[in-house]
Chain A
Amino acid sequence: MAEKIGCFVCTGCTIGEAMDCDKLVAVAGEMQAAVVEQHPALCQPEGVEMLRRAIAEHELDAVVVAACSARVHGDTFDFEDVYTERASLREGVAWTQPAGEEDTQMLAEDVVRMGIGRCRFAARPTGTPAPVQDRVLVIGGGVTGLSAALAAAAAGKQVDLVEREQQLGGFANKLHKIFPRDAEVAAYPGPDVDSLLARVAEHDNITVHLGATVTRISGAPGAFEVTVGGDGGEQSLASDAVVVAAGWQPYDAAKIEHLGYGRGPDVITNVEFEQLAKQGKIARPSDGKVPESVLFVQCAGSRDPQHLPYCSNLCCPATLKHITYLKEQSPETVCYVLYKDIRAPGHYEQIFEQVQRQGAIFVKADVERVEPQQAGGASVSAQDLLLGEPLQVEVDLVVLAIGMVPVTLDSDVLNLTYRQGPELPEREGGFPNSHFICFPYETQRTAIYAAGAVRTPMDLATCVDDGTGAAAKALQAIEFMRQGAACHPRVGDLSLPDFHLQRCTQCKRCTEECPFGALDEDAKGTPQPNPTRCRRCGVCMGACPERIVSFENYSVQMISEGIKSIFVPDEFEEKPRVLAFACENDAMAALDMAAMNGLQLNPYVRVIPVRCLGSFNIIWVADALSRGIDGIMLMGCRFGDDYQCHFIKGSELANTRLKNVGDTLDRLMLESERLRLEQVAINDWRRLPQMFDDFLARLDELGPNPYKE
């Protein structure tokens, strides 16, 4: 709660020309600001100095900086121990409205009023540091897990490395040679797992648990209690953060019936072929004959909706590598590759080229049947897609290039005791749900990071990077917990939701909707917050019908007070009022882009930034409509399969809430069309003027809000 609020109006950057700033000062005075000042350039050293002086002199606990958008000068207007509220007069008014008009002035005055109103119930968050132990749990002892463990240990953390097999090294142990890294195309170095293993073995900070799995993780980041079960019984460990590097397993080739696997010994998988090569001699299993002809079936079960819909990325390079094994063993070996596309990205293209020079036969084909023969070998029938004719080959050996399945698809590896379930929420294929383009390490469980083949199919060189990167995220998470700050995407945010549990009705909306599983429940269904799991999106605050969830600097009451501060003209003035709740990251940026491009926006819209539309509480609809506001627009990120919301489902949740309240409005004979949700991305700024005008036009048809005074 801010008692003494200062309001500072900037007249620079055309603000002074667009509106009457003296009047704004008067309005701030009416709002009982303790001190109100104007300055021609608040962001310049003299302006900042004036602010500092006023803060000290009047012992202000909050300031409203009525100047530019909150997206700029955040650091300039950050004052110790003082809450800063930004009121956007530049982008929000001066750059989007005609100068000197009555509506421009009314908008500017509301912007100032809303800023001061919001301030009344805000305080600067101080953060609640969590005691951390500087311990990281790594699940999986393959190349990814080893790399993660080494990176975390090198940064000074204590690492527990849990591997379910009896030895470390994972799949790399089974490899004859690994893919060339970067430009080392001519030579295929053997896997350097030995060096990784040696470094892990000699590192004092790493404790290895072999033949062990994680059977339970309770608690929260910074204080995970981990139960590890294995041959030696159960053991309890403490950990702050987790890297999941459980790896992959080959797709079950027997499921691809027409490819003959399991019906004869000479139809093998690429994994089995690799093992043959590692044993020293590639001979066909039926009779030990060195094969004179080998046929590779690419995409065996991959890119196939019946089996694995995705491409495993590595099967093409693996086959190319396998051909070089064969050609090394005997240059005369006839190699066929039946493929859909040869996918050899980057430098792998050179291996493709090399293998073509060695005389392998590549045929774009649909494989119809692989039939193992009594006398050994197999007969393959296919449709040659380029010649458009059937293809029939008898070969000594058939290798099925099968794809990769993340271990997490059908095994539990974390066994979290979270109310929302034991594992990371997944998308199709068993891979963790994340913003896999811009923020690929993020999962929906704070301080738990997926790496390596559980995240997406990748080669060993990439696994080293990926384990290292995931370790980096785990280290950061620990640092943020130590400061009491949030992880991505609200990095460094010190606020925390407070639950006024005496008023909780155990409706469980918050515990169900939290995108990060931060809230557990007691037996009665009362939420039990876990601050270190929280990402501060405010979805719980939006979900709560009793409005018991608030942050120090963001609450239902704060926004309500902002809404109540708006001056709503009576219906005879014919000046409708619309609220636009806009997502801070995308819609607010889009509004700024529109302003910077000089687009005029409808003057009747009052914009209220929200952390995420998921924090939209439907009480604000009542607040607004009872005050005579004519319409409410929610501007949030695209939802659905290709969702953009950085809190996963915020805009989708808001949409559902809006639908529910819309039904109620209809019953009250107040048109639900007064509420509208728009999906807005930053680059949609050109659409904004029309979007507002269209809504206003529809509201005009509906007529003024009957609750208007």
Chain B
Amino acid sequence: MTAKHSSVLVVGGGMSGITAAVEAAELGREVYLVERAPSLGGRVSAMKSYFPKLCPPACGLEINYQRIRKNPRIQVFTSTRVTAISGEPGDLQVELVSEPSYVKESCTDPITPFQQLPAELSDDFNYGLSKKRPAGLVHPHAFPSRPVVDPRALEDEKLRSLLQGVEQVDLEQQPQKFTLQVGAVVWATGWVPYDASRIDYLGYSEFADVVSNVEFERLAAPDGPTGGKLLRPSDGKECRRVAFIQCAGSRDVNHLPYCSAVCCLASLKQATYVREAYSDSQVWIFYIDIRANKYEAFYQHLQEDANIHFVKGKVGLVEGTSDGSLHLLAENIAAGGIESVDVDLVVLATGMVPSTRLEPVPCQQVQTDEYGFVVSDPAATGIVATGCAKRPADVATCVQDATAAALLATLR
């Protein structure tokens, strides 16, 4: 079978998409890598570390960024979305649109020109836990290392006029529509955290000190809003008592019926952050089952720590106390009775929602299951779903899967 086009379009610049792109390019194909955000890295770039090695994601990302930099076969389009896909395997026509950076092409310095601007916009990279400038790099490890203007700043009269005063800024730039002809598409748009405010009894909307697991990751990250100090968002007090609530919305027919496969290990990892931050810290983990499948040794190591309390049971109530702490009531199935604890911070281990549930693949032939995971046969559509667009998965599984996807996308 000879196809009209051999090039590959990879949609999504997180770990799965980056992997698919470099692997396909190293298989000799021309690759277009498209990411909606202004930089690559996706969810993992906002994490402090990976389980079970507790190593920073930036390390592996750096290697992959080098692979992209050194490979002339890969073209990266950031701030870009796919709006339509038509055609058949081997001959796909893809419509795209790129948002402007509003920074002149000639700007070589991604830092200095923007340093005088005030940090007033909520910082999405930190899940809104800090403020950012209206222009600059999204974060220091951003790749490509190109500054952008946050489009929200254009809506704000003061920020807009400040930006107009920056020589390197050009607010007249317009979105660019373009078309690519490719042989195959790898769909790697990843996941979004389940909206914790929908689990009303866990107090996420009510209390600043009830955070989701992705937010906690930023609170612990050395490049995060607190410089890596575990401080509670409400008043900056040290988080010495932290409760993790597993399956927050997961394995629950009212929310996400499936298991997201990573939240247990993520909480175990985050428990180590708390234990490392303060030697007298106490951690409670409320769970149904601890699903530490691949990394049992990591779980067993944590079980040896007397300051980490594993409680099999559901949390029924989260309420504020007079001293600004949070009070939790939970059943304790193993010991029997009710567990009642006061903590500084509650972390909700929320699950993964495939991005394709909120924004389907813009191609009629592509089918998803009831949860939004892509199920179509790639051979029929020419569109290979990978990573968390296919099922909830940890980083290693995404890399493994994306490598296979890269090969499938080149076989025609």
Q: Which residues of A contact B (CB under 8 A)?
A: 12-14, 41, 43-44, 71-72, 74-75, 95, 151, 154-155, 182-183, 303, 305, 309-311, 313, 341-350, 353, 364, 385-386, 388, 428, 435-441, 456, 462, 464-466, 468-469, 471-473, 475-476, 479-480, 488-489, 491-492, 585-586, 589, 593, 596-598, 637-638, 642, 644, 646, 681-686
Contacts and interface: CB of A to CB of B under 8 A. Distances in A.
Interface of B: 22-23, 26-28, 48, 50, 52-60, 62-64, 66-67, 69-72, 106, 108-112, 115, 137, 140-141, 145, 221-223, 227-228, 251, 257-261, 289-294, 296-297, 300, 312, 333-336, 369-371, 373, 375, 390-393, 395-397, 399-401, 403-404, 406-408, 410-411
A45 to B, nearest CB: 10
Contact of B392 (A341, A344, A345, A468): A345
Given A310-B297, A462-B397, 18 more contacts: A41-B106, A154-B411, A155-B411, A183-B375, A303-B300, A311-B293, A343-B289, A346-B261, A437-B60, A438-B59, A441-B403, A476-B23, A589-B62, A598-B115, A681-B58, A682-B58, A683-B221, A686-B227
Contacts, number: 220
A441 B400 contact: yes
Contacts of A341: 289-291
Contacts of A435: 60
Nearest to B64: A438
A683 B56 contact: yes
Contacts of A456: 294
B60 A438 contact: yes
B60 A439 contact: yes
Nearest to A95: B111
Given A472-B403, A682-B62, A437 B108 contact: no
A510 B25 CA distance: 33
Given A341-B289, A589-B58, A386 B333 contact: yes
A14 B109 contact: yes
Nearest to A154: B411
Given A313-B294, A642-B53, A491 B70 contact: yes
Contacts of A343: 289, 291, 293
A44 B107 CA distance: 9
A349 B390 CA distance: 16
A637 B53 CA distance: 13
Given A182-B390, A345-B293, A437 B395 contact: yes
Of the listed residues A342, A346, A589, the one surrounded by the most CB atoms of chain B closer than 10 A to its CB is A346
Given A12-B108, A346-B261, A475 B27 contact: yes
B25 to A, nearest CB: 10
A642 B110 CA distance: 34
B391 A438 contact: no
Given A438-B395, A473-B403, A479-B27, A642 B54 contact: yes
Q: 7 closest pairs, A vs B, by CB?
A: A438-B60, A183-B369, A469-B403, A345-B261, A341-B289, A472-B407, A468-B404
A349 B251 contact: yes
Contacts of B403: 441, 468-469, 472-473
Given A12-B108, A438-B60, A597 B140 contact: yes
Contact of A638 (B55, B66, B115): B55
Contacts of A154: 411
A117 to B, nearest CB: 25
Nearest to A151: B407
A658 B255 CA distance: 56
Contact of B55 (A44, A475, A642): A642
A296 to B, nearest CB: 15
Contacts of B112: 13-14
A440 B408 contact: no
Contacts of B109: 12-14
B293 A313 contact: yes
A344 B333 CA distance: 20
Nearest to B374: A182
Contacts of B59: 438, 585-586, 637, 644, 681-682
A615 to B, nearest CB: 17
Contacts of B56: 681-683
A343 B110 CA distance: 46
A642 B53 CA distance: 5
Contacts of B22: 491
Contacts of A491: 22, 26, 66-67, 70-71
15 contacts: A75-B70, A182-B391, A305-B300, A311-B293, A343-B291, A346-B261, A347-B258, A364-B334, A438-B60, A438-B396, A475-B407, A491-B22, A644-B59, A683-B56, A683-B222
B144 to A, nearest CB: 9
Nearest to B51: A437
A385 B261 CA distance: 24
Given A343-B293, A686-B228, A75 B72 contact: yes
A490 to B, nearest CB: 9
Nearest to B253: A353
B274 to A, nearest CB: 18
Contacts of A685: 140, 222-223
Given A43-B108, A345-B392, A683-B48, A596 B296 contact: no
Nearest to B53: A642
B410 A492 contact: no
Of the listed residues A74, A456, A469, A683, the one surrounded by the most CB atoms of chain B closer than 10 A to its CB is A683
Of the listed residues A344, A388, A597, the one surrounded by the most CB atoms of chain B closer than 10 A to its CB is A344
A529 to B, nearest CB: 24
A597 B115 CA distance: 10
B391 A683 contact: no
B108 A41 contact: yes
Contact of B407 (A95, A345, A471, A596): A471
Contacts of B396: 436-438, 440
Contacts of A439: 60, 63, 399
A572 B294 CA distance: 59
Contact of A466 (B141, B223, B404): B404
Contact of A349 (B106, B259, B336, B404): B259
Contacts of B53: 437, 642, 644
A41 B59 CA distance: 30
Contact of A345 (B69, B259, B404): B259
A296 B401 CA distance: 32
A304 to B, nearest CB: 10
A585 B63 contact: yes
A469 B399 CA distance: 9
A541 B300 CA distance: 40
A589 B293 CA distance: 33
A469 B26 CA distance: 13
A311 B393 contact: no
A596 B400 contact: no
A206 to B, nearest CB: 15
A310 B299 CA distance: 10
Of the listed residues B106, B261, B407, the one surrounded by the most CB atoms of chain A closer than 10 A to its CB is B407
Contacts of B221: 683
Contact of B296 (A74, A155, A311, A489): A311
